[in-house]
Structure formats: structure tokens, C-alpha cells
Chain A
Amino acid sequence: MEKSGKLFVFFIVLAVIGIIFITRLFFLQIVDTSNYYKALAYGSNEVTIYPARGTIVDRYGKLLVYNDAVYDLMAVPQKIKNINKEKLCKVLQIDTNDLNGRIKKASRYNTREASIIYKSLPFHIYSQLQEIIYDYPAFFIETKIDRRYNINGAAHLLGYMGEVTERQLQNEKYYKPGDIKGMSGMEKSYELYLRGKKGKKIVLVDKFSKQQGSFAGGKFDSLPIAGQNLIAAIDLNLQEFGEQLMKNKFGSIVAIEPSTGEVLSIVNSPNYDPNLMVGQTRNKNFSALLLDPRKPLFNRALKAPYPPGSTFKTVQALIGQQEGVLFPDTKYPCHGGYHMGSLTVGCHPHASPLDLEHSIQQSCNAYYCYVYRSILDNPKYKSVQDAYLKWTQYLNSFGIGVKTEIDLPEESPGIVKKTQYFERVFGKNWRSSNVISLSIGQGEIGLTPLQMANVASVIANRGYYYIPHVVKAIGDEKTLPDIYKVKHKALINPIYFDSVIAGMARVCKPGGTAGRTGIEGITICAKTGTAQNPHGAHHSIFIAFAPRINPKIAIAVVVENGGYGADYAAPIANLMIERYLETDKTVTTRKDMLDRMLNANLVGSTVYDLPKPDSTLRKTLLPLTPKP
């Protein structure tokens, strides 16, 4: 037997290889930590768990907005191979070309990431799809939430949801393509509270992105945090009543609780059913609403400045007193109007002369021409321009000509012109007579219905207002942002309100401009307005608050082309006040007036069909539990 030293060589080789391998292992596993982090990234998929969005209830706790689960069919285009398209198409009820188109569209966006193939699967399709989805590994169903509205109005107030846009995706990192967020109304302005916080679950995936279980025992997972529920200031009953009253009329109602600034109702007409803005038919409905000639998407209450007409006299009377040019017993004559040179501002026949209180009751145009002239031509100021500037400051303190900062998006500041505007129109040395129509709220002035209601609120509070807000409380702690707890003082001494309110209290009583619209048992302080409209019949306008002592509601009503303020706006406002103040919500002392308002049709004979909500939507409350 030959001995050989070569065994030793073999051992050396084994040892060397052992050293090489262990060194390499040390480098890969201990020194180079990048592999560890790559492993985290490669082997896992972050799955978003959508939280339940906060619900919205009205001021008495009645449910307005809630959630329902919707199911999107998602697919990773890269992985769609050798599938039975016919079977899938049959279940989805689309043809093969449509499906191919959807897949192509998805792959154009990203072939490796899941995209939506079929949005908001109707429930019957969803249940059928559940049975066959396992044959289609590239496809899966993602559960998202969709909104359901328990009311078929108040759409402008509640708002609607929509898919985040390209731009929003860039600006806000929270959102991912396909996410939905509030696009208007409370849904938009309280998005941060309502949306909650998305949870994430890191799941291990194989190379086919098939889920293999949770990563690191769920150490890096986070549960979704449900959105905060909102208590809206709105009174659902009052809102629905207002919408009934405004049916077949164009216009708006805004009701505010003066002592808090809470918005009790915001009625826009025409309105639309917020349930149109969800589900399969959302986009179709949206474009139908957008193209509707009556502009149902337009939020008149916040965005349409109307000339306030005679309702503006209340403001003028207050500014005049504060400026020291008007006293409660100041009397001005009126003989069919205000005459100055060639200028005439007409007025209806009434007793003359009138004092301040009765000028409000009778809505004398001439009286306020004198008042406004005395304000602008006040010798205290160097020029009319300075006086006008001071006047606009008063207006701004009422929330006129500036945004009220209500907690709803897209608000118009209304119209209050700057002196420069009049310089352009009338020359550098324009005079008070140039702008005399402003005295009675006509001409270069515009208030949104919200601003009008806010003016009523200021008068009701005798000199201050809270920023109108549609939210009463946020979340379980029932908090309210501090900005809504701050008194905004109008630049008017409270003592000057006495005669104005006394005048307003006479308006809905016999002898007042809306004498036939009063409600028995309620002292309504109001002011009618009839805004001349170059495009057609006058706008019927009315501001009011009630009761006189310790006011509970301040309201503004605008009925476009409704004629005199007393014709439509006053009855509607007073019915609203009655409905809000009386405990019994079913009866009215003014059945005649109610019927007249409900039956009135100012829209004309043209019949438009508003789109109807998707009938396949399940209007049931489902507990929204994220799928594991």
C-alpha cells in the first residue's frame, strides 16, 4: 500500500475553500448591510388598508353621510398571461375589446404595478367575480370606501368625493393614484379630519406578487386610523324643508344661528342628489350636471353675489348713525323718490316724512339716498373718496366685500368696488351722486346669500358675528376650531341697533313691506329687498332674524326673478323661521303661504330631467372592516 502525502494537499484545499466561503459569508451577511435592506424592499409589498372615513351627522345627530365598501377590480398588467378572457368578460358584462382596452390602458400607466381595471364593481358582479378570481392570478379585488348620502339634497354643503388628480398627487404625498378625496363641500374642507390615516401592511410576495403572508410578524404594519366623525351645524329637517320651498325656483337660503355662527341650512336651487356623485355612474352624472343649463353644480349661496337691494338699508342706517350723520329721529321727505338735479331715485308711495324706524318699515328709497349722501359728503372727511373708503371699512366689518371665511371651499367675497374703480368710470373727482344707487343696495355692490345672512346675524347680535361655520363639532372630543369662537365686531356701537331692529320688527307686521307674511306668535325682525335685475324680473330678497329678543335664527333668502321681496323671499324665510323655532315640525299657522310657496314655479315650462342615482347602489349601512 503506497502512502501519499497528497491527502494533506486535499485537506489544505478544503481549508482554503472553507476560509474563502466563510469570509464571503461574513462580507455578505455582516459587512454589507445593503443586502438586508434590499431584502426588505424586494420581498415585500406594501398593501394599503383604507380607514373608514368619518361620517357626518346633523346638529341633532341624524345621519347625513356614511360609508359603504366598494370593490375595484385591480390587475398587474405584466402578469396577465393566458387567461380565459371570455369567462372574465362574461362576468364583468363587457366585451373582449373593452377588456383589452382597459388592460392596455393600465399597462400604459405601469406594467408592474396594479391598476384599476374595473372601478366600483356593482354588487352582483362583485359576488360573481369572487367565485372565479382565483383563476386569474394577475387580478385581485381591492376594497375601498365610497360615500353614501342619507339625504337627497344639501349637495353643495356636503360636497362630493373624487379621484385625486395628477397635481394633487404631486403636492400631497399622502395620496396614491386611484385614491379618492373630498372635492367640494365639507368633504373637501374637512378632508384632513374625515380621511383618518391609512394603515399599511407589509406582505411578503413571491415573484408573481402573490401574497405569502405578513412580513416580520407584522412588526412594521400599522392599523388604519378611522377618520373623525363630524357633527354638522345643519338642521336636516330645516334643510329639507328649505329645499322643498325652493323647488322650481332659482335662488338660495342661508340660515345661521347668530349666537354661535353655526349654519343651520344652506339651500341652493337647483340642487342635485349627492348620491349621483358616487358609484359606477359618477362620471356620467357629473358631466350631465356640468352641462345642465341650470347649473345645478353652482353654489349660489356662497358664490353668487346679488345686489342686496333694500335689505342693504339696514346697513346704511347703522353706518349713518355710527358716523354721526343719522339719528333715530332724523326725518327725510319722500315725494315719489329722491330728486337731485336730473337724478331721480324712485320710491313707492308712502307717508312722508319718515323717521329712521319707519324708513325701515316702509323701505323708503329717498330716505337712504339722503343718508348715504350725508355719509359720503360728511365734512369730517377731506373728500368723498375718503368717506367712501371709510364706508367700505364698515362694510368689511359686516363681512361684506370680504370672504366670510366659512368652512366651505370656494367662497366669493362679493362685490364692493374700490375708489379707483369709480375714478376710472366717473373721473378723478367723482361725487356722491355718482354712486347714489349704492344707498339702496343697487349698482356696484354684490352680496352672496351667505353674506346677507351674516348681516342679519350681525344685526341680531347687535354688532358682532361669529364666522359662519357648517361644522358644529369634530370627532369624539367634539372640538371646534378656535377661529369659530372669536367674536368679529362690526364697527357699530350696539346702541345704534335699537331703532334699526325696531324698524325691522315692523316689516312683517301690518303696515310693513312684508306685512302679509308674518307668523303669529313670533316677532320676526326683517327687511325686504327687491334687487333690480337687468336680465329680467327683480330678484326677491329677504333678510330676517327671530325672535327679536335673544335671536335663534338669522336668515337670508334670495329668489331669482321672484319679484318683490315680499312675494317669495319673505314667505319662504318666515316659513323657515317658523319651522325652526316651533317645536312641532309638522304644522304651520300659514298653510296658505306654505301651499303657495310649494306650488310656485318660477323656472317656467321647460322641464329638465336631473340624472337619477345609480339604482344598484346598496343603501345599507355596512360595517367597514378592512380585509385582512
Chain B
Amino acid sequence: MNYYNKASEENIRIDWLTVILYILIVGFGAMNIYSANSTIDHTFIFDLTMEYGKQFMWIGVAAVIVFLILLLDPKFFNFSGYGIYAVVIAMLLVLLATGAYNKGAQAWFKIGSFKLQPSEFAKYATALALAKFLGTFDVKFAGKKNIAICFGIILLPMILTLAQNDTGSALVFASFFLVLYREGLSGWYLVIGLYLAALFVFTILFPSLYLIGVILILCGVVAYFYKKYRQMLWLSIIVFFASAIFILSVDFIFAKVLQPHQQQRILVTLNQDVAEYYPRKAKEFSLFKIDMNRKDKKASKRDYSYNVRQSKISIGAGQWLGNGFNNGTQTKAKLVPEQHTDFIFCTVGEEYGFVGSSIFVLLYLLFIGRLYYMAERQKNVFARVYGYSTASVIFFHFFVNVGMALGVLPVIGIPLPFMSYGGSSLFSFSMMLFTFLKLDANRVNEISSVY
């Protein structure tokens, strides 16, 4: 058998399809940042006083980082998984401490003019740590202890990021549950999650008691049809009561746990009139009496929907073919705040129209799909878990970011990987991606994890 010879030939097989997609997306991103950020006075491509100019610099730096990663021995990542995780967690703790000291949230370290955002690297570190843990010989996603450790690895950075008031970045860690699903977490948990999300939305849209009535009927019907099975009866009863309690507490969670701007963003996404919502809900039956305090009332009057309105208008203005590169009227007018960062998709929508945006969405999904496909083909658990983590994090960002720009999801400020302006984001995603590409390139040299 010349198995080993063949393997060594393929030693440097980088997945070029992914690399090409990566280059396409990064290049397209730079074009859109230029479009959104350049002004009449600033058109020179490498104008470092402008953010588009800096982005070209970050891309250059990212290329160096990618090159270095490809030079590293793939075993390094496995070896240093916990170490990187520990460093990032430490950085988050330091930030939290200094942030508290400065009486305000601070999400970055300042290095010269570059702001390093540890939360961006926390995803990378978490992916490595989770992969390392699940890749450890004889460890599986089973048993209370292992499951608890997995949850801990994910939740620790999530909570630390949340403590920095960076809700968006914290939510990204939820994408690791997709990895856990692949590694054996029951799909039911995801179904329950979706069910609760749906209930949450319906509670905002419809009166709570009607909703409880509808669930009662549905549970009754299920119980009737499966009356032969005693378990189904109990299940129906449990689902009903759990749902009812959840529904009745949604208003409380909504009004008290979420901040006013978050409440408004959700209401706007659901096409609800903000001014009309609170009086309507106040009339309804509720387990918890919600009294909005003055601060909340004042905040609720502020208009948090501007961004989404402008975003939808920008995208809508693109029509079939868009206005063309650097010609988006809304884009050039800088009407969408944060257009070169979180709302970069508006530029795509306006300048490339329905055709361009659809192609972009399909290309991006192809890219993510390719990553999942590659993750699945890994021979060892470390690489597979790491691959799924990479794909899932990118997927979550893409889903939330584009969904927000399109107004189907509430505004959550997270960047579109490889597209949005920002050095930290570009570096961390590039590191994450090329670490996986290195692992993938090396997969044939790995003997199956079952030694």
C-alpha cells in the first residue's frame, strides 16, 4: 500500500475553493467599505485618514497573519487550545475590571490607533478550547460532567462579553450550540429554543390570553389523537403549562430585562407601533404588573428605528440591478449609520440591486456550506469540532447581520465577517478560517481519531 506516499503528496492541499471565496468576499467587502466611506474630499484608495484606507491596511495585515498561520504546524492549534482560551479570558477579565473602574463599558484595548477587541478573538479561542476538549481521547459529548464542561467553555466568555454590555457579541456564542448539536446534543433542545422564540414573538403580536387559549386547544387536540399514549397526555399538559407561564412572563422579561432600545428594535422588526404597544399591553392580563418608570418612558420615546428604516430604504433603492459601484445615493449620502461596519449589506443592496444581492447571499451561503462540508470530512474530532465552530460562528454572524439589515431580525450590532470594516473582526475571522483550512489541508496526514 502506498497510502502514506499519497498522503504526503497531498500534504499541502489547501481547499482553494474556500480561499477563492474568501478573497472574493474580502475584496467585495473592501469595495463596499470604499463606497460607503469615501467622500468627495477623500477618494484616494489608500487614504489612511479614512476608514476604507485603513481597511486596505488591515487586509494587508490579515494576509500576513494568514500566511503565518499556514506556516504553523497544525498540531500547534491542538496543543495551544487551552492556552489561547486562557489568555483571551484573562483579557476579557482585565477589560471588565478597567471598564468598571472607568465607570463604563469598554470592549477594547487600545494599541496605538488600533483598538483590539478581545471579544472578537474570544470566538476563536472558544472554538479551539471546545475542539480541544471534545477532541481529547475518550471524551464525548455525553455524561453530565462533559456536558457541563462544554457548556462552561461556551458560557464563560459569553457572560464576560455580556458583562461588557456587548449583547451582540455575547449572543454569537449561542452559535456553539449548533456545534454541540452536531456532536450529539438532542435536536429537541433546538426545537424548544425555536418554539420559545416563536412564543415570544407571538406574545408581542397578540394578546397573551388568546395565545394561551390557542395553545390549550392545540395541546388538547394532540392529547386526543394520541390518547392511547399516556405519555403524550402528560407531555401535552407539561407543554401547555410551561408555555402559559412563559407567555405570561414574556411581558415582564420584555419590559424589565431588555433595555428600551432593545425593546424598540424588536417591536420595529415585528412592525409594531412603539407608541401604541405599551398602552395596549398595560390593559392585558399579566402575572407581573409592569409599571414603566420615568426613565423607561423617556427612552421609549426616542426613535431607535431610524437605522433599520434607513437600511431598508437603502436596500430597496437598489431595485433590480442597483446603482452600481460607488453610486448608491443613500450610501454616498451616508444616511445609514454604521454603514461601513454593521450595515455594510445596505451598500450591497443599493449598489448591486436584487440580482447582485441575491448572488452575494448565495455565494456567502455556498461559502458557509463549504465550511460545514469540510468540517464533516475531518478525520479527527478536534478538526471537526473546530470546523463546525468556525462555520457556525460565521453562519450566525451572517444570519443575524443580513437579517438585521433586511429588517427581519432586530438590530444586533455584530459585523458581517470579512465584509464589515474593522481590523479585529477581520483578523479574528481570518485566523479562525485559515486555522481550519490548515487543519483541513493536513487531514490526510492524520490517522483517524480512532487510533
Contact = CB atoms under 8 A, between A and B. Distances in A.
A212 B349 contact: no
A29 interface: yes
Interface stretch (B18-26, B326-334, B430-438): B326-334
Interface residues of B, number: 49
Interface residues of A, number: 39
Interface string A9-23: 111001101101110
Contact of B354 (A17, A26, A205): A26
A266 B10 CA distance: 104
A20 B403 CA distance: 9
B318 interface: yes
Given A30-B320, A39-B314, A42-B330, A25 B335 contact: no
Contacts of B411: none
B394 to A, nearest CB: 11
A410 interface: no
A1 B449 contact: yes
**Chain A interface helix/strand/loop/mixed:** helix
A44 B333 contact: yes
A1 B320 CA distance: 47
Contacts of A7: 182, 372-373, 376
B365 A24 contact: no
A43 interface: yes
Nearest to A216: B329
A204 B313 CA distance: 15
Given A6-B182, A30-B319, A25 B349 contact: yes
Interface string B424-446: 00000000000000000000000
A424 interface: no
A29 B354 contact: yes
Interface string B360-392: 011001001100110010010000000000010
A215 B329 contact: yes
A566 B318 CA distance: 83
A610 to B, nearest CB: 50
B182 A39 contact: no
A36 interface: yes
B134 interface: no
A18 B313 contact: no
A17 B335 contact: no
B357 A205 contact: no
B39 interface: yes
Given A7-B372, A11-B369, A14-B365, A20 B313 contact: no
B372 A212 contact: no
B333 A29 contact: no
Contacts of A35: 312-313, 315-317
Interface in A448-469: none
A42 B306 CA distance: 12
Given A28-B349, A30-B354, A207-B335, A21 B361 contact: yes
Contacts of A216: 329
A171 interface: no
Interface of B: 39-40, 178, 181-182, 187, 310, 312-320, 329-330, 332-335, 337, 349-350, 353-354, 357-358, 361-362, 365, 368-369, 372-373, 376, 379, 391, 395, 399, 402-403, 406-408, 448-450
28 contacts: A1-B448, A1-B450, A6-B182, A10-B391, A14-B368, A18-B365, A21-B402, A24-B406, A25-B349, A26-B354, A28-B349, A29-B315, A29-B318, A29-B320, A29-B353, A30-B319, A30-B320, A35-B312, A36-B319, A38-B313, A40-B329, A42-B313, A42-B330, A43-B330, A204-B329, A204-B332, A205-B333, A212-B39
